[in-house]
Amino acid sequence: MKSWYPEDVLTFCPSCGTRGFEPSDRTQQPIMHLHCSSCGFGLFINAAASVVVLIEKQPGLLLMTRRLKEPEQGTLDLPGGFIDPGERAEDAAAREVFEECGLRVRDLKLQNRTYCNQYRYGGLTYYTLDLVFTCSAENWDELSEDGNEVETLLIQKEHINPSDVGFVSVRNIVLDYLQGRIFTCGLGET
């Protein structure tokens, strides 16, 4: 798969259109800033904030998704996605769970670990920073089985194979969940 790093894709200045839009410091890894030598326009390559949500229906029974589209089509994932500009992380978590799974969430709790990922989509790589929430669902009867982007699955902890998870950050979240580093107390049906 192509890397699609910003410095390889954004080679024309978005402001004046001339070629020569280049890393300000080529020794940085990853590149953090691109700069136009003609007009002075600059662009920071920031982390894109996203949310990942852990929801258990019962203790040890985790809601996961299977990705129906690229990137990482066919692999296991967790509900979540990018935080919109101006949106709070907790609102993004509730929105993504509803959009992907049809569930209304309650008792959202932000966990004290964050995870990095590279998300390659539409010809560009985004450096994501994933915030993890745990929550419960208002009504499991509202769980949708298959949608446009993902299908949903309930998997018992013992049957989850982290190597079936496509995204590195989500794989690490699942590993931390399986090994008890993300606290699941208070989860499940109430």
Nearer to Zn ion, 5 or 41 (CB): 41
Nearer to Zn ion, 13 or 135 (CB): 13
Q: Looking at 41-49, 60-68, 100-108, 168-176, which segment touches Zn ion (CB under 5 A)?
A: 41-49
E strand intervals along the chain = 21-23, 33-36, 42-44, 48-58, 61-67, 76-77, 80-82, 105-121, 124-137, 150-156
Do the Cβ atoms of 115 and 54 come closer than 8 Å? no
Among 11, 12, 16, 138, binds Zn ion (CB under 5 A): 16
Task: Answer yes or no whether residue 161 interacts with Zn ion by CB under 5 A.
Answer: no
Nearer to Zn ion, 41 or 127 (CB): 41
d(CA 176, CA 182): 6
Q: Looking at 6-14, 65-73, 82-90, 151-159, which segment touches Zn ion (CB under 5 A)?
A: 6-14
Task: Answer yes or no whether residue 34 interacts with Zn ion by CB under 5 A.
Answer: no
In single-letter form, the type of residue at position 168 comes to V
**Rounded least distance, CB 26 to Zn ion, Å:** 18
d(CA 102, CA 97): 7
**Rounded least distance, CB 35 to Zn ion, Å:** 9
Cβ-based neighbours of 69, under 8 Å, separated by 6 or more: 149
Site string for Zn ion, 95-134 (x = CB under 5 A): ----------------------------------------
d(CA 5, CA 92): 26
Kindly state the tokens that stand for 6: 């910003």
Q: Write out the residues near Zn ion by the rule CB under 5 A.
A: 13, 15-16, 36, 38-39, 41
